[in-house]
Amino acid sequence: MLFNPVSLLDKRYLITGAASGLGKATSILLSKLGAELILVDIDEEGLNDTSKMCSSNVIKVIINLYDISDLKAKIIDSVSKFGKLNGFVHLAGRPYISPLKSINEKTTTEVFMLNTYVGIELAKICTNRKIFAGESGSLVFISSVYGLVGSAANVGYAMSKSALHGVTKSLAIELAPKNIRVNCIAPGFIKTNMLQKISDSFNSEYNDTLTKLHPLGLGEADDVANSVAFLLSDMSKWITGSIMSVDGGFTAQ
Amino acid sequence: MENFLEQMAELFEVDSVNLQDEVIAFDAWDSLTGLSIIALADDEYGITITVNDILEAKTIQGLYALFNQKK
Ligand SMILES: NC(=O)c1ccc[n+]([C@@H]2O[C@H](COP(=O)([O-])OP(=O)(O)OC[C@H]3O[C@@H](n4cnc5c(N)ncnc54)[C@H](O)[C@@H]3O)[C@@H](O)[C@H]2O)c1
């Protein structure tokens, strides 16, 4: 057999946000690399779509991630049927474009819950010895260039994404004795539904401006998926607590 | 309606607004205020609007109609 150091054969991961965008592309790639997957999303139709495009063994879990207690019960149930997990990728998330003066507590709290706290809760559940496979442990969070640099009308989103950087580093230390690695990818703008939704509220000039922010142009979902595969695989076995910029050069300038 | 007028006064940074006030005539009108109106529409009225919709609505009255019509 050909040498393939990113092979994920015999590995199992949970993927949130698997129904769309980056989560969908990531699930399809990991499945091609041999990983078995628990696909998690609130969008049943999208999950069906993703699971049809996966070539390995996958199971679907339809859940609203705001419901933390349901999350734990459903993961335990899936793992009992499926086998223990090597890790997860938390790709579910939502944008929150709002200048300071229209920001409100309810939405900000929801954004923090979904983008950040759910990631902590997933780490808690998936590193428990009843769930964790005990080897090749790797957790991947997805933040954003706006967790690293500032932009107007983005304070709520920036809070949720920059918080993930602290989460990544502190969990990397806490979980190192268990040999579980924890890393975070900070993507630039990728052509997905989320970007579509954001740019719909602006004009075409905005899209040009966006493209110019990326020396290598806008990204594709696979650019993030490839980095996830690397961070899950044993190729990155000495990498933990890192924030990987996958942004076409956005934050290099 | 009263609640809506209070929200507009807050975003345009004035004590109170009138229905016939023009959006772009407020001193506080700029692209960020436009985004604030978009965020408010999404958060509290569950509707998606664009900066162009706001400019076409023209007045506070127009915005009120926009918020309550486009569902
Ligand atoms: N697309 C980009 O340009 C970009 C850039 C930087 C970071 N990101 C981040 O990458 C991640 C994925 O983004 P995307 O562009 O693929 O977004 P997307 O909107 O295409 O996908 C997000 C997925 O999360 C799911 N989801 C949302 N709320 C949920 C909930 N309460 N319970 C369960 N599932 C829920 C949605 O159903 C959807 O399938 C997000 O965290 C986003 O912040 C995206």
| Domains of chain B (ranges, CATH numbers) | 2-70 (1.10.1200.10)
Structure tokens at A179: 């040999």
Lowest mean pLDDT among A144-158, A207-221, B13-27: A207-221
In a domain, A5, yes or no: no
pTM exceeds 0.90, yes or no: yes
Instruction: Provide the pLDDT confidence category of residue A203 given band limits of 50, 70 and 90.
Output: low
In a domain, A126, yes or no: yes
In a domain, A3, yes or no: no
Q: What are phi and psi of A226, to 5 degrees?
A: -60, -40
* Partner-chain residue, chosen from A98, A152, A200, that has the shortest CB–CB distance to B39: A98
Domain count, chain A: 1
In a domain, A113, yes or no: yes
**ipTM of the assembly?**
0.84
Q: Which residues of A touch B49 (CB under 8 A)?
A: 201
* Partner-chain residue, chosen from A99, A104, A200, that has the shortest CB–CB distance to B32: A99
In a domain, A251, yes or no: no
Candidate of A16, A22, A51, A198 to mutate for ligand 1, largest count of ligand atoms within 8 Å of Cβ = A22
Report the separation in Å between the CA atom of A113 and the middle of ligand 1, taken as the mean of its atom positions. 13
Q: What are phi and psi of A232, to 5 degrees?
A: -80, -35
The residue-averaged pLDDT of A219-234 equals: 98
> Buried (b) or exposed (e) across A25-38, using 16+ Cβ within 10 A?
bbbbbbbebbbbbb
Report the separation in Å between the CA atom of B18 and the middle of ligand 1, taken as the mean of its atom positions. 40
The reported pLDDT for the residue numbered A209 is 87
**Closest approach atom of ligand 1 to CA A65:** 32
Contact A128, A233 (CB under 8 A): no
Residue nearest atom 21 in ligand 1 by C-alpha distance: A20
The residue-averaged pLDDT of A148-175 equals: 98
Output the domain CATH number for residue A112: 3.40.50.720
A198: containing domain: 12-246
